[in-house]
């Protein structure tokens, strides 16, 4: 099994075929590290992580035991980095008018994990807003309706290439940091998710801003 690694920011021009990138424009490469060595944290805070990956066909094919194992893995890795909320969406490339799956929440290792089978982010927002009554809509009220106590995501982990964004997410892509992990939903493991969270914690968040 490959030794653990961390993610190092490198110059985009230094690689002929760049690896996955984040929405801060940085390119990441893997660097070997000794087990147990901590990555310096410049102060980024991680509270809510969103993971977008797989299609609803993939999700429906998973057994209850496999779902339990996957949710436990996501929660355990998130807890190791201080997160307290994990929301899971399908990637959403295939439009699905009706899905038999329903939103499921569970708590593992002090982390609340919510699996939400909405493949179309615009439809999800429209349904939530239609169900709201006596609400004066503004950015804050919409965020509260969409994310509740979890709040807007700090990080969105996209399972796939860095040239496509998940149709299942719309609001979440505004200010959240993005990390792309080029693996299929079915093979995502704890080490890969750990790398994604470490990549986020090594960043300086700009909330949509750019360097001067």
Global pTM reads 0.73
Least confident of 8-22, 52-66, 119-133: 8-22
Q: H helices of the chain, where?
A: 56-60, 64-80, 121-130, 139-147, 190-201
d(CA 21, CA 204): 15
147 has a pLDDT exceeding 80: no
Strand ranges in 37-193 using DSSP code E only, listed in sequence order? 48-52, 85-89, 104-108, 111-115, 155-159, 177-181
CA distance 30 to 2: 12
pLDDT band at 192, cuts 50/70/90?
Answer: very high
C-alpha–C-alpha distance, residues 16 and 204, integer Å: 25
pLDDT at residue 111 tops 90? yes
38: pLDDT confidence band, cut at 50, 70 and 90?
Answer: very low
Instruction: Give me the chain's average pLDDT, please.
Output: 77
- Encode pLDDT of 167-177 as tens digits: 989 888 888 89
Query: Residue 114's pLDDT band (boundaries 50, 70, 90)?
Result: very high
Name the more confident of 120 and 209: 120
pLDDT (0 to 100) of residue 3: 40
CA distance 102 to 115: 8
User: Average pLDDT, stretch 32-43?
Assistant: 39
**What 3-state DSSP class applies to 201?**
helix
**What would the two tokens of residue 117 be?**
């089978």
The whole-number pLDDT of residue 140 equals: 77
Which CATH code is given to the segment(s) 5-33+45-201? Answer: 3.40.1180
- Which sequence spans correspond to the domains of the chain? 5-33+45-201
The stretch 78-94 carries a mean pLDDT of 91
């Amino acid at each position: 099994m490959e030794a653990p690694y961390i993610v190092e920011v490198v110059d985009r021009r230094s690689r002929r075929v760049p690896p996955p990138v984040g929405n801060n424009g940085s390119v990441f490469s893997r660097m070997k590290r000794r087990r147990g060595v901590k990555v310096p944290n410049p102060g980024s805070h991680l509270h809510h992580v969103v993971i977008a990956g797989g299609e609803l066909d993939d999700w429906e094919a998973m057994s209850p035991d496999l779902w339990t194992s996957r949710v436990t893995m996501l929660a355990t890795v998130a807890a190791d980095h201080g997160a307290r909320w994990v929301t899971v969406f399908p990637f959403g490339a295939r439009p699905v008018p009706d899905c038999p799956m329903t939103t499921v929440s569970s708590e593992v290792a002090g982390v609340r994990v919510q699996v939400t089978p909405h493949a179309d982010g615009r439809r999800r927002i429209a349904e939530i807003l239609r169900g709201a009554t006596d609400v004066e809509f503004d950015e804050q009220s919409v965020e509260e309706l969409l994310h509740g106590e979890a709040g807007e995501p700090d990080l969105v982990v996209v399972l796939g290439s860095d040239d496509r964004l998940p149709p299942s997410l719309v609001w979440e892509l505004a200010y959240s940091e993005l990390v792309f992990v080029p693996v299929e939903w079915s093979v995502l493991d704890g080490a890969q998710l750990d790398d994604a969270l470490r990549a986020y914690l090594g960043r300086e968040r700009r909330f949509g801003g750019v360097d001067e």
